[in-house]
Amino acid sequence: MARRHDLVGLTVLALLTVRASHPYELHRMIVETHKDYVTGLPRSLYHAVERLAGDELIVPTMTGREGRRPERTVYEITDEGRRELTTRLRHLLETPDTDRRGFTAAVSLIGCLPEDEARRALRTRAATLEGSIAGTRAHIRAMADSGLPAVLMLEVEYAQALCAAELDWITNLLDRLDRGGIDWPTTAPA
């Protein structure tokens, strides 16, 4: 899964930790659970399943037909697929990006990680955001001191406000986790 932000593939891996499924069932689960960051359905889903199977991150377990319906292949996630899912989720949680869909996907699928690992990743992201906000503040001050009109720095202020809002949300989430305010599975889905 070398593709940057292969959110469809990531979601397929996560859903297959819940239960083995065929692509049509995965499509229904994505729609029913409002994984709105997944785009290009259903074609993108079928391509993702092919890629994941080619990379041996998922494997077919059975093929069957019900009545007059088309033949359907059921897939399950491999141990390598679980490791890939964990690695990719951790990276998306830890690393801020201007394309926020990756973080949205990671938050949506965060329950696939053990709670302590998710906390560490969120704390890493929070520290990165704090550094970014401090750097942006210094940059805005320097530009103002140089005489640059504030109107030319509005997009920088906007980016800083987005980072601050995200940091606030993450801080609140970590606080809720610390207080036991969010039920977390004792193990990642099998």
3-state secondary structure the chain: CCCCCCHHHHHHHHHHCCCCECHHHHHHHHHHCCCCCCCCCCHHHHHHHHHHHHCCCEEEEEEECCCCCCCEEEEEECHHHHHHHHHHHHHHHHCCCCCCHHHHHHHHCHHHCCHHHHHHHHHHHHHHHHHHHHHHHHHHHHHHHCCCCHHHHHHHHHHHHHHHHHHHHHHHHHHHHHCCCCCCCCCCCC
Second CATH level (architecture) for the domain 7-107: Orthogonal Bundle (1.10)
pTM (predicted TM-score):
0.87
pLDDT value of residue 83:
96
pLDDT of residue 5: 75
pLDDT for 65:
73
In the chain (190 residues long), the average pLDDT of successive 10-residue segments reads: 74 95 94 91 92 96 79 94 96 93 95 95 98 95 93 94 97 95 70
Supply the pLDDT for residue 1: 41
Question: Residue 69: what pLDDT?
Answer: 72
How confident is the model at residue 190, as a pLDDT? 42
